[in-house]
Amino acid sequence: VRFPEDLEDDNTTFNPEYSHQVFGDDEVAFGYKGLKILLYYIAGNLSTLFRIEYTSKVNEKFDCVEADDVESKIREIIPPGFCTNTDDFVSLLEKEVNFKPFGMLLHTYSVHNEEAGEDITYQIYKADMTCPGFREYHERLQTFLMWFIETASFIDVDDERWNYFLVFEKYNKDGATLFATVGYMTVYNYYVYPDKTRPRVSQMLVLPPFQGEGHGAQLLETVHRYYMSSPTVLDITAEDPSENYVKLRDFVLVKLCQDLLCFSPGKLIQGFSQEMVMEAQQKLKINKHHTRRVYEILRLRATDMGDAEQSRSYRLDVKRRLIGPYKKKQRELAKMRRCLRPEELTNQLNQIDLNMQHEQLEESFQQLVSDYRRVLERLAQA
């Protein structure tokens, strides 16, 4: 909500992707007709209005059952101090002009908005719990995780090893410049013996009204650039990354790596090298596993897949990496031959069908190339 009229505007409304963490695996609130759970957030500081509406509700006379206590379930997620009536919420909205982003400004960029016909400015900040008011703001911000990340959990904000990176949109209201929350990322700094840290991306969310505009890539690249300048950082990883995050990371890391000398077309054709691993880690804080994916994407760009020899060379190179898990199975099988009874061995052999492995390997390769091409298409448009 930026303006009072937004309260009645369905265009500013978005629905949760998940609600199982609040309402169970069936995602059902029992005992209501026409139930609406309404959560409004002021665009900048995320002050909250919470309201429940329904046309009817079962009572105890109805087969001795009770309706679910929806309000208590929501109160477990949203922090205390929220509004329950619109007038209080609108009076808070009038004070929004005083809200300013927390922490240190790291990056400013603009995105062209077709609907508005103008470029809109966005800024990325790094904050921590020492910033006045940030703890309370973060409590409101993290409530979105429950609705948009499938396995989300709230973090221990008293642990000083957390870093917070926030994206805001700058907009004008009655001649004043205001800020709207776009998304954020939390990063945990793990200790690596003897004197390094390994930042691990924990949670990353761009709010639905801003998705598809490139903010995730801007945020991840800014976070990488922030850590790149630190001599104590070993490399940057992610905790249990989603498929979408992996695709985003591929794009950002390829964009960062493509100008390194070790990834020049001549060197790519020679194959994956230790030089690539060293340079990507030292200059860009990218680990070996991610560097290998970057190499495969950039080598695909440098390969003429219409040329039979080049295409075969690329396919064999990628499949040599993909075949690793299958080779592990073969080693396990060799051990089994030595210690299993014949009937047990037959059972295990049935699970390791070589023809099936080749089919799976080819399928994995084709899927990978398809994903890599999408990264390269996005890179060409960037």
Name the residues annotated as catalytic: 239
CB contact at 8 A, 104 and 115: no
Q: Phi and psi at residue 308, in whole multiples of 5°?
A: -55, -45
Q: Which two tokens stand for residue 189?
A: 């700094």
Q: What is the separation of C-alpha 157 from the centre of its chain, rounded to a whole number of angstroms?
A: 19
- Establish whether the linkage from the previous residue to 194 is cis, with ω within 30° of 0: yes
Buried b (16+ CB within 10 A) or exposed e, 73-96: bbeebbeeebbeeeeebbeebeeb
Side-chain half-sphere of 180: how many Cα atoms within 13 Å? 19
Cα 259–Cα 236–Cα 213 angle in degrees, nearest 5: 65
- Give the pair of three-digit tokens for residue 121: 């400015």
Task: Give the number of other CB atoms < 10 A from CB of residue 249.
Answer: 23
Specify the DSSP class assigned to residue 12. G
Beta bridge partners, 120, equal 111
DSSP per position, 115-129: TTTEEEEEEEEEE-T
Mapping DSSP onto H, E and C, the string for 299-361 reads HHHHCCCCCHHHHHHHHHHHHHHHCHHHHHHHHHHHHHHHHCCHHHHHHHHHHCCHHHHHHHH
206, 182 contact by CB (below 8 A): yes
Distance CA 299, CA 271 (A): 8
One-letter identity of residue 220: L
